[in-house]
Structure 1
């Protein structure tokens, strides 16, 4: 995909972050662990010429599409530089803050949004046993102003058209997925998005919200305990399609078990109720699937 990126310096000079800026942004803005901040500083100093040029081109892609929808397609980082994508993202934080300020987005929301970076750095360390950011492209939605953390949920402007579809996303470290928390987030989004993007949404009636996730698999109801919040969340959505008949291994291994996809089933952790419930389904031959659903506001009383 590298050839799809702008050429180095095509938009404006890449403001390559220095070691002090990387450390401050990760610790003070992104809520990263000290180990990840330390490894990021070391990785920054180890970037060679080709890696720096790729970082420049990745930044150019962000700068050329501020306010764009969804997230950008990025190539996988070179094996020798698993944190490469982090640096153009951090370089784009001032661009994000300027965009947010122009749209009336409070800096507290900007900081809350960047906390997702620290979470994914922690997840990468659990997955691979080292520092990395294998989903760096996901954060191009954050820094370009298309995605926002509003309470428990994230909302992303996705798709083309005058009133693009809004994707609902769920952070792993966001806290309990209670109906009250979900309702509060959705109410916030119905007010927030038309205010921030009046050229796209005249009002709440223009918002079509949907979610594509393993959390919406109705089979989970048969395996999770009644006290679980997940089935209640899934029931808020009107499902469309049947999902991938091949099943969904990658997301479950990543988000439920915190392990890479090549981890054998017998080595998956069983430390909590969710892990034990999903494992029981695996052992019974359940084909877990990602499902897509449209949020039915009436099911939230909205």
Structure 2
């Protein structure tokens, strides 16, 4: 995969962030914890020449595809540099801001989308007991100007064709997933994307929203209480296909339990209703699956 990245400096000079840049961006823009910012500064100083060259090439892949679609394929960060992908992302923030400003996106939304970085740093620390960003490539959608946090939900330009569908994504720290919050987010997106991407969408009628998530598994309705927001969210979608036959273990272990997927079932936490419901299903051999679906706007009254 590394061989598919642009060469160092192929698009524009790599503005490697210095320690002050890393700290300011993480604390003031990304809402990261001080310990993650401290470790990121230490990690930057520890990069060897080959790692710095790879960071440059990762940055080049971003600079070459501003305003593209979805997120980019990056090699996984490995020891001893689990934060390697963070630095080209931070270096791309000025590029993101310039793209946003050119499309009329206000700074508040720029800051809001970067808050996801702080969240994922916190999740990585819970998963691995140290600083890291194991899904750094996910943020290439953020900094290339194609993913936005609009209220409760994130929306990303995805898919092929002249009018790509808009993917819907759910931050763990975004708050309750109520139908009112979902409706407000979708209404915002219906206005936002034609305004920001008039070359792709002439109006709300061009927008198709899709989601791929364990949250759409209809089996959850049998295990969660009626007051839960999750079944109501899943019911908004017309499901497509049977779901991943490999199941949703990685997603559930990561997002429900904040554990790596090699954690034995008996060691998973049972601290909240969702964890207890998912575990009850696991212990009853329920084949939890990620499901894909198309949002049915009529079910939101839109």
- Does the pair score TM above 0.5? yes
In the other structure, the counterpart of 1:97 is: 97
Report the Cα distance in structure 2 between the residues aligned to 1:175 and 1:84, rounded to whole angstroms: 29
In the other structure, the counterpart of 1:7 is: 7
In the other structure, the counterpart of 1:235 is: 235
In the other structure, the counterpart of 1:187 is: 187
Shift of 1:159: 1.5
In the other structure, the counterpart of 1:214 is: 214
Shift of 1:69: 0.5
Report the Cα distance in structure 1 between the residues aligned to 2:245 and 2:197, rounded to whole angstroms: 37
**Structure 1 unaligned residues grouped into runs of 5+:** none
Are 2:48 and 1:48 equivalent residues in the alignment?
yes
Superposed counterparts of 1:191-202, under 5 Å = 191-202=191-202
In the other structure, the counterpart of 2:141 is: 141
Superposed counterparts of 1:1-302, under 5 Å = 1-302=1-302
Report the Cα distance in structure 2 between the residues aligned to 1:67 and 1:123, rounded to whole angstroms: 27
Deviations 1:241-296 (A, max 9, x none): 11022311000000000000111111111111100000000000001000000000
Shift of 1:297: 0.3
Shift of 1:161: 1.4
Report the Cα distance in structure 1 between the residues aligned to 2:248 and 2:185, rounded to whole angstroms: 27
Report the Cα distance in structure 2 between the residues aligned to 1:247 and 1:89, rounded to whole angstroms: 31
Report the Cα distance in structure 2 between the residues aligned to 1:227 and 1:234, rounded to whole angstroms: 14
Report the Cα distance in structure 1 between the residues aligned to 2:78 and 2:136, rounded to whole angstroms: 13
The alignment's TM-score, normalised by the length of structure 2, stands at: 0.99
Moved over 6 A (4+): none
Report the Cα distance in structure 2 between the residues aligned to 1:73 and 1:172, rounded to whole angstroms: 23
The SS at the match of 2:271 is coil
The SS at the match of 1:17 is coil
Report the Cα distance in structure 2 between the residues aligned to 1:246 and 1:63, rounded to whole angstroms: 35
Shift of 1:40: 0.3
User: How many equivalent residue pairs?
Assistant: 302
Deviations 1:166-212 (A, max 9, x none): 10000000000000000000000000000000000000010010100
Report the Cα distance in structure 1 between the residues aligned to 2:41 and 2:13, rounded to whole angstroms: 21
Report the Cα distance in structure 2 between the residues aligned to 1:246 and 1:25, rounded to whole angstroms: 38
**Structure 2 unaligned residues grouped into runs of 5+:** none
Report the Cα distance in structure 2 between the residues aligned to 1:246 and 1:212, rounded to whole angstroms: 14
RMSD of equivalent CA atoms = 0.5
Report the Cα distance in structure 2 between the residues aligned to 1:244 and 1:98, rounded to whole angstroms: 38
Report the Cα distance in structure 1 between the residues aligned to 2:231 and 2:2, rounded to whole angstroms: 40
Report the Cα distance in structure 1 between the residues aligned to 2:145 and 2:95, rounded to whole angstroms: 9
The SS at the match of 2:20 is helix
Report the Cα distance in structure 1 between the residues aligned to 2:261 and 2:246, rounded to whole angstroms: 15
The SS at the match of 1:292 is strand
Shift of 1:78: 2.8
